[in-house]
Amino acid sequence: PRGPRVGAPVQLTPYPTAGLGSCLVATRSSSVPSARKPEGVELKQAAFRPSIAAALLQRPVQEWQEEEVIRWLLEVSLAPKELAQVIREQAITGNVLLTLTEKDFEELEIPKFGHRRLLMMAATELRAVVAHTRSK
């Protein structure tokens, strides 16, 4: 089977991104003890795609339309495809995504907790990126 084993040791390495500072990229490493991996966290190989993120962030998140939010979710945060339909149906633009709360995600009636959590994590990540770019 391809891809990292669940529970395989990982190492987080800074990866520079164009104009965005840096992000952490998860890589497998036999020298990293598995005890250092946070409990209950599943990491995906190449979970962050900096070139796609940099391309999307050329335009302010507040101006993103639904399709740009979907692209971010599917290509950068690696959320499941089922969430794309929710974004379209609920007209979630970049500006809307930045303001959503945990309660809002529950009201969207997304049946799977994990999918709601992925949307919340994407919104939190985008808020951090926006705050970081404003502070420069």
* 34-65 residue pLDDT tens: 444 444 444 443 344 556 677 777 888 999 99
The residue extents of the domains of the chain are 1-47, 49-136
Q: How confident is the model at residue 4 (pLDDT cuts 50, 70, 90)?
A: very low
Do 13 and 24 contact (CB within 8 A), yes or no?
yes
Q: Please choose, from the candidates 60, 127, 77, the residue with its C-alpha nearest in 3D space to the C-alpha of residue 99.
A: 127
pTM: 0.59
Predicted confidence at residue 44, as pLDDT, reads 41
Q: How far apart are CA 11 and CA 60, in angstroms?
A: 31
- In this structure, CATH architecture of domain 49-136: Orthogonal Bundle (1.10)
- The whole-number average pLDDT for the span 103-128 is 86
For residue 74, the 8-state DSSP code is I
